[in-house]
Each structure stands twice: as structure tokens, then as C-alpha cells.
Amino acid sequence: MKQRTLGTSLTVSEIGLGCMSLTGAYGSSSGPDRADAIALIRQAVELGVTLFDTAEVYGPFTNEDIVGEALEPVRDQVKIATKFGFAFEENGVPGGGVCSRPDSIRRAIDNSLRRLRTDHVDLYYQHRVDTTVPIEDVAGTVAELIEAGKVLNFGLSEAAAGTIRRAHAVQPVAAVQSEYSMWWRERENDTIPVLEELGIGLVPYSPLGKGFLTGTIDATTTFGDGDFRARTPRFQGEALAANLALVDLLNELAGETGATPAQLALAWLLNQKPWIVPITGTKRGERLTENVGASAVELSDDQLARLRAAADQITIVGARYPEENDRMTNLDAPLPAQ
């Protein structure tokens, strides 16, 4: 697979694997069997994927453990990204919620390294901004971990432009992870210009719109018990019907190009900037193969122009999350003074 560089030196496959769904997502109480999850991760390695994304909160903890076992035999061939930033008793902060206290971060990295069966993490993200801790203190703590060799690169997730600037001034940020896809493009107005200015990579999660851009969802689709999409405004009623115009376009172009709608949506992302590396998530081997195949999709200038024009013209209706989940992005929350 083709390679891209995040920041100044973190070179990875241009499509990564987000591992969250391997321990439960979209309403399922659990992911696939452990053996099947490990097999899927190793299949991704065979397909050329070198960036694997996990977090201590996925599970919690079991996701890192599965990723660690799966990648231990090929650790020198891959890059592992994980995240800190929630309160856990094992990190000295019981009670839940966000927490990026320096002492908690130090405990978190040691626990993550143990579960991941490695002596370093290639990319260490603050999972969500903690408005009670100055971002300078967070960046400084990660800088200490980099100096100690436990972390190689610093990342932020769902951080606002001002937060990114302040963190980058203390410890260079290699990548920012935020939702970005053909049907969620708000980062183009705030985050992406700052990333381009500072030389920071973007790692979009949900690059397929939580399944919407795969072409498998239509106006008759229902979601299972516990699936947050059943409560998400843009998947409901008139909003869903309006948003299907984007899927109709992808289906039309898919017939012309021989690519699938999902591959076209990923190809659109890859064509936005050379420092964008989307992470796709799946529990199924055939979907993994399909997603990775987007790296080989070549679109003509005319097809790209049509895709971009249509994406620009179509207005996506409805919020991307239920209200209680959308508050967790923290993008516009004020940070404490330095």
C-alpha cells in the first residue's frame, strides 16, 4: 500500500485500521471472538496496513490487549496509536469522565505499554480535551514520555485550533484525529487550515460516515437496540432521506469506475490532502479488503471534479451524534489559562 507521513517523520500506510469495533460498537455488547479479532488485525497487516488505532477506554482495556497480542509478532513492521485522557482507577483517578492530569498520563502509558506488549507507542493521543488541565501541561508530560522513549509522537483528538496551536508550541504534534468524511466536513473550516500551516497530519475517524457512505443504508434501514445511530438525528426520517442524495451519487460513480461507494468515499478523502490518513473500522474480513482497496482506486480528473462538486452542493441534514455524545467533542470548550 502507498505510504504517507504524519507530522515530520511518522510514515504509515495511507489507510489505517481503527480497532474500536473489535470490542463492541454500534450497539453490540461485544466484538467478534478474540481469535477472530486477532485474525482480522493480522489480515490487515498482510494487506499492507501499518497504522493500528486503539485506546485504553475501548473496552475498556480489552481492545489494547487484543491489539497487543495480534501485533506482537510483527511489532517492528507496524505503528501503534493509542489514547489517554479518561479517568480510571488504575491510573489513580477513579470516577469516570475526562482526566489528563500529568500523574494520570504517566500511569496510563505504563498500563497501555503492558497491555500492548511493547516498550513504546508510536503515536499517543489525548483522547478528549480536559478543560481542567492546561494543554501546555499535557504536552509537557507527553514530551517527558518522548524523552524517556515510551512515546514517539504526540497527537490530539477532537481538539480545537487554539488548543492545537498551544500544544504544538510545547511539543510538536504529529497528528490530530477528528471525524471527517464526505458527510461531515466542518473540520475544513477550522482544524484543517491550522494543520496545513503547522505541518500536522489529519487522521479522520468515521471516514465512511458510520456506515452511511458504504451504500448499505437506505430509507428503510432500521438500527438494533443500543445502536447510537437509532438516536442520531442525521440517520432519522426526513434527514436520512435528504442525506441519501450523497449515497445516490456514490452509487452512480461506482457503476462507472468499478469501485464501491465506500472506496470512492475513501478516495475522496485521500485526494483532499497528502497528509490525510483515514482509519476505517470493521469486524469483517471482506469489508477490510474492500476498504484497503481504496488505496488503489484511481479517479480521472473529471470524476474527482464531479465528486467534489457534488459533495460541495449537497447539504447534509441533522447532527452527527445524539446530543449527549456530541458534547464530548469539547472542540469549542475554553481551556484554562497557562
Which residues form the catalytic set? 58
Q: 83: which strand partners?
A: 125
Alpha helices in 133-236 (DSSP H): 135-147, 161-170, 191-198
Type and span of the H or E element at 291: helix 285-292
Name which of 218, 303, 302, 288 is nearest 258 in CA terms: 303
Pick from 86, 76, 25: nearest CA to 55: 86
Beta carbons within 10 angstroms of residue 290's beta carbon: 18
Q: Edge-to-edge strand order for the sheet containing 79-84?
A: 201-205, 173-179, 154-157, 123-126, 79-84, 51-53, 16-18, 279-280
Task: Copy the grid coordinates of residue 333.
Answer: 470548550
Amino acid at 61: F
Cα dist. 289→27, 50, 75 in Å? 24, 14, 21
Contact 26, 65 (CB under 8 A): no
Q: What is the grid cell recorded at 108? A: 496510563
